[in-house]
Amino acid sequence: MRTKHIVPTQAYDRISGLPDDICGHIVSFLPMKEAVATSVLSKRWRYAWTFSPVLDLDLSLFPKTHGRRAAFADFVDSAVALFALPHLTKFRLSLDDGSGGGPDPRLESWIAFAVARRVQELELCLPRSRKMRLPDSIFHCASITSLKLRLRSSAFELPSPAGLPGLKALHLTSISPQKGSFFHDLFSNCLLLEELVVEECRVDVLEIDGARKLTTLVLSKCDWVHPVRIRVSAPRLQTFHYVGRAADEHCLENLLCLDEVVLGLRAPSLMWEAEGDCQESLVKLFQMVGGATSLTLSSWCIKHLARAPGLLDNVQEGVKHLVLFMEYREDSLGAIAPLLMSCPYLETLSVSIMPSQSMRKGHGSAREKQRELEIRRMTRQLKAVKLENIDASNTGLELVKFLLKNLRALEKMTIVPSKDGLEHAKFRRKVSAFPRASRDAIIEYCFSE
């Protein structure tokens, strides 16, 4: 019998044979620390990371040793000095690791490098500093399409963005836009802007007009300087997230393409102290965003909308998907019923129960029967319901029973029980005994691990 011998051949590394720009593009998908680490693979890969069009430099990922900030600054200097491409796709610099300390004095030179390389996406996360001032060159860099600034300094006022004609996405966090004129200049000059995120900023005036390409608007946990009025006119707006303290007045118009709305609001400090003011203002806001396909409401919004006498006067025909975050002990049925009746073409409902210290009493039985009849008539297309953090208390069981009894088109109900000792088998037996308006309805349980 003949013995077969395998003749060794010289292996060929096809990846290492690629051009520098291709190797740099591959490395650009790695975090900066790992990208630099590729330099030890071989001589061919020693400087491959310098051909990456992405520089992501984050102090928080640097080893926590003595002289950490100085060592990181030297690393940034090296990365900038060795950069081998004439252009820069993305430059992200984070000097905020939560330990305090002002920005490095070399910050201006690093930003100048990015601007000189015609950076497209610029992201800066800087620590709190009383002497904070960004170079004006940032706001005169025509190549920038995405600008994200987290400055942790509400005292710093941004200059006018008039020099950013190619800007498509702007994220502002922990900063004060220039009083009155910033957003006016933004939409007067940045005609390509599609995404605006304003988070934890101090704002006195927010008027968005002429935003012809704006598709996403996020207002999150802002400090409104009273009295403040939010005015938005954006015909292509699809996504609107409004979270935190509510402003005093709203005017949302010309929202022809609205698809997803999140109203995660809580009470403002002064202007809406009276319950009637809360209800009236929220009903108006609810009507303004009623054309959205998907609507998410916080417990504060639900509580005041449920009590508002004018809620049912305007039916929200566009809402197909409703997401509710409710307090654990509030009158669940009393809160949900008016919202279901105001959204007659609803197809899916998701309810998440959150902890609360308060308890509200439900309505009388006569009112309960009337409400059931109205819901049966109005919710003819609601097919899917998801209930989260449901327990075996009367609140949880009543909610499940109420929905099963009244949703005639229901096809599937998903129940996610709470983590605090729910007797699963006993709970399921009780639910299985509830009458169902829909013969096709199935109940699915999703237990947390």
Alpha helices per DSSP H over 68-159:
68-82, 107-116
- pLDDT value for 298: 92
- pLDDT value for 356: 58
- pLDDT value for 354: 76
pTM for the whole structure: 0.83
Q: What's the rounded Cα separation, in Å, for the pair 11 and 42? A: 15
Cβ neighbours around 127 below 10 Å, total: 21
- pLDDT value for 27: 57
- pLDDT value for 296: 95
Q: What's the rounded Cα separation, in Å, for the pair 275 and 49? A: 59
Q: What's the rounded Cα separation, in Å, for the pair 377 and 218? A: 35
User: If we measure between CA atoms, which residue out of 334, 288, 292, 336 comes closest to residue 314?
Assistant: 288
Q: What is the mean pLDDT of each run of 10 residues along the chain (449 residues)?
A: 53 56 58 53 53 84 80 88 88 79 81 96 86 83 96 73 94 80 88 96 86 95 84 95 90 94 80 63 88 92 84 82 81 79 90 64 49 58 90 77 90 84 75 91 82
Q: What's the rounded Cα separation, in Å, for the pair 182 and 161? A: 7
Q: What's the rounded Cα separation, in Å, for the pair 133 and 145? A: 21
- pLDDT value for 62: 77
Helix, strand, or coil (residue 409): coil
Q: What's the rounded Cα separation, in Å, for the pair 63 and 57? A: 13
- pLDDT value for 358: 44
We find that the CATH architecture of domain 267-449 is Alpha-Beta Horseshoe (3.80)
Q: What's the rounded Cα separation, in Å, for the pair 44 and 262? A: 50
Cβ neighbours around 181 below 10 Å, total: 13
